[in-house]
Structures are given as structure tokens and as C-alpha cells.
Amino acid sequence: MTSPPCNNTGKSQSPSPFHPPVSLEPSTKKDPSKSKKLFRKFRSVFRSFPIITPVCKIPVSLNVNRLHDGHIHGGTRITGTLFGNRKSRVNLAIQENPRCLPILVLELAIPTGKLLQDMGLGLLRIALECEKKPAEKTKIINEPIWTMYCNGRKSGYGVKREPTEEDLVVMQTLHAVSMGAGIIPNDSGEQPDGDLTYMRAQFERVIGSRDSETYYMVTPDGNNGPELSIFFVRI
């Protein structure tokens, strides 16, 4: 897989040579990936960090034993993208497929570089918890704010927000990427937080109940189980 074109991710009032017009649309059509080379290369870089096995705080009500030969049963395949400047907070975007508008954008209270480093330590589990209210009718992914845990350590908060113009430019730039990782350079050279780093993967979305959803990253080889799991839970 080749890297996407280098695009300026700053805000703009109108399309420019570095701002492709956004053509993302809602869609339920699957867009399977045929290339895994870049994703494996990205993963191998972070494998060079020392391996630490932390204790992860996962709500006992969630069934995390859903793996069989690297496959997760009962899930729906979706696209997840972690992106952000290395020194700024990481964002999580969930799409039905790479060519549709995000159905969820979360800003997580952890620097992008730190999160990617944590992924290099082995399995990474992100638990997002919020309070369950009486007669709850809000869909769980529409909750506005979450308490976040990374491998059992409280790591601040996750905040849901509407996609910004910059978010949509990033999604448009990556619309041809089903699975991969890399950098989108800032062509102006005026980015104090560094170039924008992204990692995109396929996830299995498993709905446990009205108050729990889990997103398991699908590894390219399909044999080693998910290296990243994201848990949404109301307690």
C-alpha cells in the first residue's frame, strides 16, 4: 500500500491543492483491505520497545473471551482511525468504511506519541466509562464525556465532538486507506506539535447490551488476536 498524498491538515475556508474537496458520504458498503505491508511495518517499529505487562481494569460485565483462532464472533466490521499531532491529544474516528463520514469522533486525553508508544508494549486496552442514568435512552456512543483508562490506569477523559473541517480533511486524505499507518506532513512547515500521525485498522464492533460496546482491532495476519481493544461501558 502506498502512503496517501501529503496534505496540509490546517483549516481552510475553501479547497486548495493541499485540501482535497471532501466527498465522504454515509455508506454501509464494505471496503475490504487488500494490503497489509505498511500496517505490519508500523507495528514492528513499536515492537522495539520493552515489553511490560500491566494490569488492565476492564469491567467484569464485559465478555472479553470472544477470540477463536484470531477471529471474533458476532461482530460487525468497521474502520477505526487514531490520529493527531505527536505532541497533542490523540483523536479516535469511527467510520462504517473509509469512504464514509465518521459516526463518532472522540478526543482522548493522551498525547498521540504516548498512545502509540503504549501500543508498542503489547496489548492495549482502553476502557471508556460513564455513569448510567435512570431510564437511559441515549445510545452509548452518543454519550458526551467518558472517564478513560489505559491498561487499568486512569488517563483523563474522552470527549465526544462533532467532526471538524480538519477531521474531515484527514478522513478524505485517507479515504483510499483501509488499513495502514504513517505520517501526513505539514507542507507549510509551521506545525509546533509535529507532523500528523495516523494509524488506521479494521475493528470488530461487538454490542454486549444497551450499556456496553467493544471494538476489537483485527490484526492483519488474523492469528494473534487483537492488540488494541476499546471498551465503552455505562456503570
- Can you say whether residue 34 is alpha, beta or left, with left for phi > 0 and alpha for psi between -120 and 50 degrees? alpha
Name the band, by pLDDT with cuts 50, 70 and 90, for residue 62. Answer: very low
pLDDT > 70? residue 140: yes
Q: Model pTM?
A: 0.71
| Average pLDDT of span 43-57 | 41
| Average pLDDT of span 211-218 | 95
- Residue 189: which residues within 8 A CB-CB, separation 6 or more? none
As a whole number of angstroms, the distance between CA 96 and CA 82 comes to 15
Beta bridge partners, 229, equal 125, 216
| Average pLDDT of span 145-157 | 94
As a whole number of angstroms, the distance between CA 48 and CA 178 comes to 25
pLDDT, residue 123, reads: 87
Residue 145 CB coordination number (10 Å): 13
- Specify the DSSP element, H or E, that contains 166: helix 165-173
| Average pLDDT of span 121-150 | 91
